[in-house]
Amino acid sequence: MTDGRDDLPDTDPFEAAPLRLTVNLEALAENWRDLARRSGRARTGAVVKADAYGLGIEDCGLTLYEAGARDFFVAAASEGETLRAYAPEARIFVLSGIWLGQEATFFDSDLVPVLASEEQLAFWMSVLSERGPYPCALQVDTGFNRLGLSVDEALALAGDVSRPTSFEPVLILSHLHSGDAPDADGNRQQLALFRQVSAAYDGTEASLSASAGIFLGPDYHFDLTRPGIALYGGQAALGMDNPMRPVATAEARIVQIREARAGETVSYGGTHRLARDSRLAIAAVGYADGYLRNLSGSGVPLRSAVPAGAFGFLAGQRVPVIGRITMDLTIFDVTDLPPNAIHAGDYIELFGPNMALDTVAAAAGTIGYELLTSLGLRYERRCLGEGEI
């Protein structure tokens, strides 16, 4: 006896998924090579924290390693532990540093802690006293007021003749708070302070620039650059065209196409009233999937500041979100598309090559970083390598 399932044709899960995410690994590798060229004489690393900005640390990490990256940055030791299998000969820096109970993870996976406070330094010195020499990095705050020793603390440490000989940082790093704004005075102020610190640690490699800093020119490159968002296709610098190739394409299935009459309202709260007879496409995506509620066409406070909500791309045209985005569904106005151009089951592009990530993010009053790292668990993922695009 059979339940009939053996007679069903094999179905590609990606082709059947309500939500799908395509990660263009060829574009990712090309973006890294582009940023490496822009980094000049500096080596170029890769930031793969937050699951490679939501796109998958395993596939992205391996792609970047094969492209030539040998310095990686993660936020947590667990991310470094995962990455080690895909980047066997790389240096993996953990930006949150090391805390009591994490020693085995660091040593077993050969991770480099980035020390950012006097408390972490004191703990690390005690670890070295028991274990002996082991590489670390030192983060210095030059004006961000987030993580790092103060400039004075870093300079005092450099001149402290009583520090253990086993304490020898392999990297000094800082972070620009306005690297995306090329004319910001803060960039030059931070550069001057970082030069003081790096000079005090003569012979130790230095790193100041993330994605945005790379575009500020060679004065900011030092020994190592550490791009993040630009690798994944996001805009790193304001006031210039984004030269990066898009890496991520998010799409949602159209569940239903419905007719609605002028004067009727759309979605929760009835905040959008139709001015004409309309066709509406209901897509299987909502804020549970990282398609943020602030992208709604109406009914959210942000629309008083940023009048237009998000658009999707369907049948060769941009189509607007109307009404409020809900947990699992979003409504697009497709009235202006030819009647037979779309059908239930088609996919609408949420962001990708036709709907720039940062353009969509701006409609939500946010940045591409947040859209990527907010991607939910319901996307069926597909990675495309060289020759598959």
Backbone angles phi, psi at 95, to 5 degrees: -70, -20
In angstroms, rounded to a whole number, what is the distance separating the alpha carbons of residues 368 and 53?
Answer: 10
Give yes or no: 86 in active site: no
Single-letter residue type at 384? L
In angstroms, rounded to a whole number, what is the distance separating the alpha carbons of residues 250 and 323?
Answer: 21
In angstroms, rounded to a whole number, what is the distance separating the alpha carbons of residues 85 and 109?
Answer: 9
Q: Which of 134, 220, 268, 379 is catalytic?
A: 268
* End-to-end Cα separation, the chain, in angstroms: 44
Contact 213, 38 (CB under 8 A): no
Q: Which of 49, 65, 220, 232 is catalytic?
A: 49
Q: Give me 173's structure tokens.
A: 């790093």
- The closest of 345, 329, 331 to 278, measured between CA atoms, is 331
Per DSSP, helices labelled H in 241-375 are 357-363, 368-373
Q: Give me 310's structure tokens.
A: 């998000």
In angstroms, rounded to a whole number, what is the distance separating the alpha carbons of residues 147 and 115?
Answer: 9
In angstroms, rounded to a whole number, what is the distance separating the alpha carbons of residues 60 and 276?
Answer: 46
Contact 73, 93 (CB under 8 A): yes
Compute CA 158 distance to the chain's CA centroid, rounded to the nearest angstrom: 34
Give yes or no: 49 in active site: yes
* Three-state secondary-structure class, residue 19: strand
Q: Give me 297's structure tokens.
A: 């066409």
Torsion 9-13-18-24 (CA) sign:
negative
In angstroms, rounded to a whole number, what is the distance separating the alpha carbons of residues 168 and 31?
Answer: 33
Q: Give me 355's structure tokens.
A: 């709907």
* Three-state secondary-structure class, residue 255: strand
Contact 299, 274 (CB under 8 A): no
In angstroms, rounded to a whole number, what is the distance separating the alpha carbons of residues 38 and 244?
Answer: 12
Could you give the residue numbers annotated as active site? Answer: 49, 268
